Every structure is written in C-alpha cells, then in structure tokens.
Structure 1
Amino acid sequence: MQAFLAATRAGATFPRRYAAAPGLHRRCFSAISTEVVGEVGTADYRLKFKDASGKQISPWHDVPLKSGEFYNCIIEIPKNTKPKMEVATKEEHNPIAQDVKKGKLRDYHGPIFWNYGMIPQTWEDPNVVHPETKCAGDNDPVDVVEIGSASIAQGTVEPVKVLGVLAMIDDGELDWKIIAIRAADPMAAELHDISDVDAKCPGVITGIREWFRWYKTPDGKPLNAFGYEEKALDKKFAIEVIEETHHAWKKLIEGKTAKGKNWLKN
C-alpha cells in the first residue's frame, strides 16, 4: 500500500486495461446478454443488460440474489483497472456507467487490485441507523471485493463464495464491503471463512482495508474509517449483512420505504 500511495502521489500512470463483457456468465446466465452503448471513457458509455427476448432488464432488480448455494456478484470494475464504474441506481433499468462527479468522469488514482462489484437485490437503507456503527446506509447495493486470481470482465454475473465483511464508514455513511471469492477460482476450495483468508492469503485483508481507507485522499478527502475495531468480520456476519440488506431491498421495491431518486421496476 505504501508503494501504491507513493507511486500515485508521484504521478505514476498505470495500464488502463478495460473491456466490457460481450455477455454474462454463460454457465449460469445464458439467457442474459449485455449491450454496449456509447464509447468507453465517455459520459455516454452504458453497459445494458437484456433477457433472452432482447428486453432490457435491471442488473440490480432482475438478477437473482443467489445461484444455488452461492451469492451472485455483478462485476462493475475488473481487477487492475482505474475507471470507477457502477450500476446506475437512479437510471432507467440501472445500466453500468462511469461515475461522474462535478461534471468529470471519475477514475481511481491507481488501479484497484481486486474485482469489484455488487450483490443484486440488496440495498443499504439510508433511513436506518446501524446500532453498532451509528451510521445509516449509503443508498446503494452491497459492494463485493472479489479476491480471486483472475480479472473478471465487467458485466459478468459471477457466483461467489462469501468469506467475510468490513464495515467501512465513508463520509458518515455505512458502506459494507463483502469479501468473497468466485466459486470457480482454484483457491475457493481452500477458503471457507475469513480466518482462512488470513491464514492462506496473508496481507489480503489488510490490503483491502488500507486501499479503501486511503483511496480518496489524493482528492483532499479524509481517510475512511472502519467499524467493529476495524476487524474483518466472519462469514456468518457477512451473510447476515447480505440477508438484512436483501430484506431492505424487498421493502424498497414493495413501496414500504421511500425510493427517493432510485429507479425501480414498479
């Protein structure tokens, strides 16, 4: 992390390896495809999701929470890339787009070292204050940091094995970071809980924590904080977070919670 920070502060550049997926994970989601609209690296770029009939669908609302025993992760930012891409929760059908702030496309100041995405059918409710962290949710689906060896194409729906979670606090909002590994990764058979990550992948949890602690500081922002004494919480806790945020999402789409500017199917 120190080397990464030093390099970014010194103005080092990193390879911008970036490609949109031609289709979703065909092993489990052969009926879903993606379509690129606009040019990568522009504000017009969108990655749209479609069903077997060609009808546009929402990766947030239409992709299921789980594939059998595994949770689904929609990859927004492939490993070792810089553009800050996200499912656009406020746009119709929620395509993937590059985040824009103050009229400018957002890029990380250095590459993210893991695949990054979100769990469909989850929502961190900004109306609910968490009893331990005393922070409300960030109004987004739950984030996933996928620690496997492969770079996964943007738009892939990847079944993942949940291992643990960090309770990041960003600008006063609770922003859970689920730590997971894709079910098909060779290392997945050896990792069953967060303690296995510590034992068999030393430095990974610390790396994730410190990357997310520091990544906004080149923009003059303060360090991000972490709840629960900065510990990575175990698999059981992580699954409870996912299920609680899935329940919050259900209330959102059923109209039991104010939707704000979020785009919903109904």
Structure 2
Amino acid sequence: MSFTIEERGKPNTQDYRVYFKNSDGKYISPFHDIPLYADEAKNIFHAVIEVPRWTNAKMEIATKDPLNPLKQDVKKGNLRYVCNVFPHKGYIWNYGAIPQTWEDPGHKDEDTGCCGDNDPIDICDIGNKVCSQGEVIRVKVLGTLALIDEGETDWKVIVINVEDPEADDFNDINDVRRLKPGYLEATVDWFRMYKVPDGKPENQFAFNGEFKNRDFAIKTVKDTHGYWQALIMKKTEAGELNCMNTCVTDSPFICASSDAKAIVDSASAYGEAKSIPNSADKWYYYSK
C-alpha cells in the first residue's frame, strides 16, 4: 500500500496544506483513511511523518479540517516553530502520528489519571533516515513515554522504521537504551523543556518519566484505535473534530471522492515557499 501527497498554498505560510492520496489516486484523510496496520500479524503499524528530524516547524494533522491535511500550527497569529533548547536543535526524531488512533479527551487513563489530548497518538521514529514531511512509513513499536501535557495524557510512542538497516536489532525499549545510549534520556529532556522558552512550566510525566515496554505500548496503541473506532462510527461525540473520510466502510462520515476532490480544489494553488524567520533558529539555554 502506497501513499502520495499534494501540496497546496505556499510553504511557510498559514495557507500551506499537505493533502494525501492513496495508491488509487483518491484523496484521503491521513487521520481516518490510512489503515492502522501495515501488517497486523506482525504488529507493524503505519505512521504519518509530520515533522522530519532536525526541523522545528510544528506541522501537524489538522484534525478539525476537512480531510485532515498537514498544516503548521499557529500561536498568537504566527506560525509556530518549536523552540530549540540547547543542546537540541529541532526535533531529535522523525515525529508524527499513527493513523486511526485517537486519545479520547473523555476517557481518563487508569495509569496516568489524566484524559486524552484529542489527537492521534504521537510517534518518535528513531531510525537513521531523515524522513520527508507527509511520508507514510511502516514501523515497529518499541515502547512509550507518558507525557502529561497541561493536564492531558499525551503518549509518545517510540518506534523504528522497518526499512531501517538496523531495524532487526530493535525489538523493545531496552534495545534503544543499549544500542543508542543517551537517546531515551535526551527524549525525556526534550519533552520536559521544549515549552519553557514560551513561558510555560516544565512538562511532567507519568511513571516518573520511565519508558514502558513494547507490550505496554502496543496495548496503548490498540486502545486508542478502539477509541477512534467509536469516534468514526459516531458512537462518541466528535466535538470540533472533522471525521470526513473516503474509505471507512459504514462510517456515517464517509464522503464521495468528488466531494473530497472539491475540497482540495478549493485550496490555494501551490506556490513558492516563503523564507523561514530567523527567530526559528534561535537557541535557548535553560538551567534545570
């Protein structure tokens, strides 16, 4: 199964969008239409890359927009670039989301004591390749970190691209600790500090910041898939989320391909990228 993207608007502006197509050329939602599993028997999942490693433009699946394209988050009227807190520059993994999952804000997690953050579950791909924005990869789940972001459960699932030349060596979270020493500690450090330059407190973690293992992480992914299934079948209130899809059989939100095409056609034409502001490269220093 393969997927392609179609860019609209001018990169580095508020009208920039990245739409998705499947192998039949049909416009799809990366939130709802890309299958959870790439290989269910082997627990291989799809992941949508929102932010390539070493970059810091806060691109994300637009969960409230029709067809859920990628777009850059906006804060106080400006495009959002995640702060670089020394020694980190940009995201230190390929960052993205697992499709057909949803962290239900109406469900209080029994382990974290907090409700979900209303988004697909996040992934951090530790593979060697720097992925492209909008790339859909197949991943093995290795473990998870339970970030508590402003009182909400925000799971960060550690994965590796199955195409990575070292993928066979990574099967659980301890393999990351053994083969990439310091990476897990840096991951906790990154998530703890990245909002501090914006005037917010350090983020907190469940389990004292300890990573849970592969089996725990896979169960968490499957649980959030169950919450998504209730959402897409209208068994759970969607609120502001846009559940339009083109491929989910029996979903009350399914639409015709012509309707999906009309949405993309109504978006701004693709144009020349604007320059990234110098402020996006600023390095912040923080004494813990």
* 1:52 CA drift (Å): 4.3
Superposed counterparts of 1:8-87, under 5 Å: 28-29=1-2, 32-68=3-39, 69=42, 70-87=44-61
Q: Which has the higher mean CA deviation after the structures are superposed, 249-258 or 47-56?
A: 47-56
Superposed counterparts of 1:72-221, under 5 Å: 72-110=46-84, 111-221=90-200
1:246 pairs with 2:225: yes
Looking at structure 2, the residues matched to 200 and 46 of structure 1 have their Cα atoms a distance apart, in angstroms, of 37
Looking at structure 1, the residues matched to 33 and 188 of structure 2 have their Cα atoms a distance apart, in angstroms, of 31
* 1:150 CA drift (Å): 1.1
Name the counterpart of 1:25. none
Name the counterpart of 2:261. none
* 1:245 CA drift (Å): 0.1
Looking at structure 2, the residues matched to 239 and 84 of structure 1 have their Cα atoms a distance apart, in angstroms, of 26
Q: Which runs of 5+ in 1 are unaligned?
A: 1-27
For the pair shown, the structure with the greater C-alpha radius of gyration is 2
Looking at structure 2, the residues matched to 153 and 215 of structure 1 have their Cα atoms a distance apart, in angstroms, of 22
Ranked by relative contact order (alpha carbons within 8 Å, sequence separation 6 or more), the top structure is 2
Q: Alpha carbon RMSD of aligned pairs, Å?
A: 1.0
User: SS at 1:205's partner residue?
Assistant: helix
Looking at structure 2, the residues matched to 168 and 190 of structure 1 have their Cα atoms a distance apart, in angstroms, of 26
Counterpart amino acid of residue 113 in structure 2: K
* 1:129 CA drift (Å): 0.8
Looking at structure 2, the residues matched to 191 and 62 of structure 1 have their Cα atoms a distance apart, in angstroms, of 28
Q: Which runs of 5+ in 2 are unaligned?
A: 85-89, 245-252, 254-288
User: SS at 2:20's partner residue?
Assistant: strand
Identity %: 46
Q: Describe the shift of the 1:189–1:53 C-alpha distance in structure 2 as closer, same or farther (beyond 3 A).
A: closer
Counterpart amino acid of residue 36 in structure 1: E
**TM superposition score normalised by structure 2:** 0.81
